[in-house]
Amino acid sequence: MGQTVVLRCKIDDDGTTTKREVRLPEPFIIGSSVQVAIGEKEARSVAASREGRGSRYLLRTSSRSIVDKLTKLTELIDGTQIEIFLHPTLNTVQGLVFEPDSIDTDEKVIEKNLRSEGVQAVRRIKKRVNGKLQNTPLLVLSFSGTVLPSYVFFGLLRISVKQYYPSPMLCFKCGMYGHSQKMCQQPGICLRCSQPLHVADGEQCNNTPYCFHCKNGHSVKSRDCAKFKEEDKIVHLKVDQGISYTEARRRYNDDNKRETIARIIQDQLKQEIATKDQLIASLQQQVATLAKELESQKSSLNLRTPCLSPAASNVQRSSKHHSSQKPPATTTQSIPTTKHAETRESRKDGAFLEPPLDKADHIRVLRSGIVRSRSRSGKRQSETSPHDTNSSRGKRSLTQPTASQNTIDIDE
C-alpha cells in the first residue's frame, strides 16, 4: 500500500542544537545519493516532495525493500549527515464507508474481520439525539499505507470507500485550533462568550455569544466562524496532497498572501479605472456645455442678421445667376485699335501675330487691295485682291503694292 519516509539533516547527539530546519543541499545531490543507495531504476519509482522550505524531503514508495535501503542511508555524496525514518502520521490513510446492515455490529468485530484488507482501526460516527448518543451507518476505517483503497468487502458485500476529511481539531479548553484539550497548557475560557472560565462543568453560560477569533456574535465552536472555515480548508489541503498539518498550514498561508496581494492590486486597478471614468464623464459634460453655448451664439448671430424683402432677394438671386454664367465666345475677330499692343498667341496653331496697325496704316492697307494671310505653318502669303485683274495671279509681283491695294491680316 506504500510508505512515506522523512529525509532531513541529522540532529546532534548531545541535543543542544538542532538541524531540523537546516536547508538540505540542492536536489541533484539528494537524487544522486538516493540512486547510489538503492539503484537508478528503483530511484525513478520514488515520489519526492519538499517540506519546510527545503529542510525536509518526503519520499514515498510502494516497496518495502526500498524503504529498508533508504533507512540505512546516513550521508549524502557531498558529506552532509542525514537521517531517514518513517513518517509518524502519513503512513496511515482514512476512508469513509456507509454500511447500514452493520449499524449494531461492534467496532472491534468489524476491525477483526477487515484486518486482512489492511484495516488498522475502525471508528463509528455517532450523533446525539435527546442528549444520548446513537449509532449511524457511517464508519471511519484507518488503512496502513499511503494509498486509499477503492472498496472493501463486508463478507460478500463490496462497499465503496470515500475520502474522509476530519473536522478541524479544536481545543475545548482554550478555544484554539491545532491541538487537543489533553495537550493544552493555556488557561481555560468559556467557549460561548470567550470570557475567562466562569461556569463549572455541566453548567451553561447565559451571556451573549461572542467569538474571539472573528469578533462576531456566535460561539467559538460555531461552524459559521471564518476561523473554522480556514482550518477546514487546511485539513482538505493536508488530506488531498498527503502532507503534514504544519506544511498544509504553511502552504495555505503562502497562497493566502498571494491572493491578498492580487486582491489589493485588483482593487487599486478598479479604483484607478473608476477615477478615470469620473474624469471622462466630467470632460464629456464640459464638452456638452460648450456645444450648447456655441449653438446659442449661432442663434443670436442669426437673429441679428437683417432680413431681405422678396423683391430684393429675387434681384440678388438673378444677379448671382448672371454673374455665374460665362460670356459667350465670339466667332468674329476683333481688330485691335492700338498700335503698340503686345503680340498674342493664336487660338489654333500657337503662332504669334504681328502687332496691330494703327488707323492710317489700316486705311492704307485696305486701299492697296492686298490681303495678307498666314498659313498654319506660320509663313506669310501675299495674295492679290479678288478685284485685281492682273494676268500674273499667283506669281510674285515685282512691283510694290499701290495705295489702292488693301491688305488684311487673317488667322486661318
Distance spanning both ends of the chain, measured CA to CA: 121
Q: Write down how long the chain is.
A: 412
Scan for cell 475520502, then name that residue. Answer: 163
Query: Could you tell me how far CA 161 lies from the centroid of its own chain?
Result: 41
Q: Is the pLDDT of residue 110 over 50?
A: yes
Q: What is the mean pLDDT of residues 123-144?
A: 90
For residues 45 and 78, the answer to whether their CB atoms sit within 8 Å is no
pLDDT at 330: 44
pLDDT at 383: 46
Ranking 21-35, 183-197, 294-308, 394-408 by mean pLDDT, the lowest is: 394-408
Among candidate residues 12, 106, 107, 90, the one with its CA nearest the CA of residue 51: 90
For residues 353 and 409, the answer to whether their CB atoms sit within 8 Å is yes
Q: Which is more confidently placed, 284 or 331?
A: 284
Report residue 81: phi and psi, to 5°. Answer: -80, 130
Q: What is the mean pLDDT of residues 373-377?
A: 49
d(CA 265, CA 40): 47
For residues 97 and 139, the answer to whether their CB atoms sit within 8 Å is yes
| SS3 (DSSP) at 340 | coil
For residues 238 and 167, the answer to whether their CB atoms sit within 8 Å is no
| SS3 (DSSP) at 164 | coil
Q: Is the pLDDT of residue 161 over 90?
A: yes
Q: Which is more confidently placed, 354 or 118?
A: 118
pLDDT at 124: 94
Q: What is the mean pLDDT of residues 134-150?
A: 91
Non-local (6+) Cβ contacts of 169 within 8 A are 177, 178, 179, 180
Q: Is the pLDDT of residue 397 over 80?
A: no
Give 355-384 as a DSSP string: PPP-HHHHHHHHHHT-EEEE-TTS-EEEE-
pLDDT digits (tens, 9 = 90+) for 66-104: 888 998 999 899 988 899 988 888 888 999 999 999 998
In angstroms, how far apart are the furthest CA atoms of the chain?
165
pLDDT at 271: 83
Identify the band that residue 387 occupies on the pLDDT scale cut at 50, 70 and 90: very low
Q: Which is more confidently placed, 132 or 333?
A: 132
Identify the band that residue 388 occupies on the pLDDT scale cut at 50, 70 and 90: very low
Q: Per residue in 27-64, is it b (16+ CB within 10 Å) or e — as a string?
A: eeebbebbbebbeeebbeebeeeebbeeebbbbbbeee
d(CA 392, CA 384): 10
d(CA 333, CA 256): 102
- Does this model's pTM top 0.85? My answer is no
Among candidate residues 341, 339, 397, 402, the one with its CA nearest the CA of residue 366: 402
Residue 164's CB: how many other CB atoms inside 10 A?
19
pLDDT at 362: 64
Q: Is the pLDDT of residue 123 over 90?
A: yes
Ranking 53-57, 246-250, 261-265, 312-316 by mean pLDDT, the lowest is: 312-316
Average pLDDT, the chain: 77
Q: Which three cell numbers stand for residue 89?
A: 502520521
Element (H, E) at 266: helix 245-304
Q: Which three cell numbers stand for residue 184?
A: 493544552
Q: Is the pLDDT of residue 287 over 80?
A: yes
Ranking 12-21, 114-123, 178-187, 352-361 by mean pLDDT, the lowest is: 12-21
d(CA 244, CA 50): 11
| SS3 (DSSP) at 63 | coil
Q: Which three cell numbers stand for residue 412?
A: 486661318
Q: What is the mean pLDDT of residues 318-325?
A: 52
d(CA 22, CA 85): 17
Give 115-138 as a DSSP string: GGGTEEEEEEEEEEETTEEEEEEE
pLDDT at 305: 63
pLDDT at 265: 80
pLDDT at 113: 93
Question: For strand 371-374 and strand 409-411, is the pairing parallel, antiparallel, or unpaired?
Answer: parallel
What share of residues in the chain are helix, strand, coil (percent, to 5)? Answer: 35, 20, 45
Rounded percentage of the chain residues whose pLDDT exceeds 90: 24
| SS3 (DSSP) at 396 | coil
Ranking 48-52, 292-296, 359-363 by mean pLDDT, the lowest is: 359-363
pLDDT at 33: 92
pLDDT at 12: 64
Q: Which is more confidently placed, 362 or 172?
A: 172
d(CA 189, CA 182): 15
Q: Is the pLDDT of residue 152 over 60?
A: yes
Q: Is the pLDDT of residue 340 over 50?
A: no
Ranking 6-20, 262-276, 350-364 by mean pLDDT, the lowest is: 350-364
pLDDT digits (tens, 9 = 90+) for 171-214: 988 999 988 888 888 888 998 999 988 888 778 888 899 999 99
Q: Is the pLDDT of residue 341 over 50?
A: no
Q: Which three cell numbers stand for residue 14?
A: 548531545
Report residue 327: phi and psi, to 5°. Answer: -70, 140
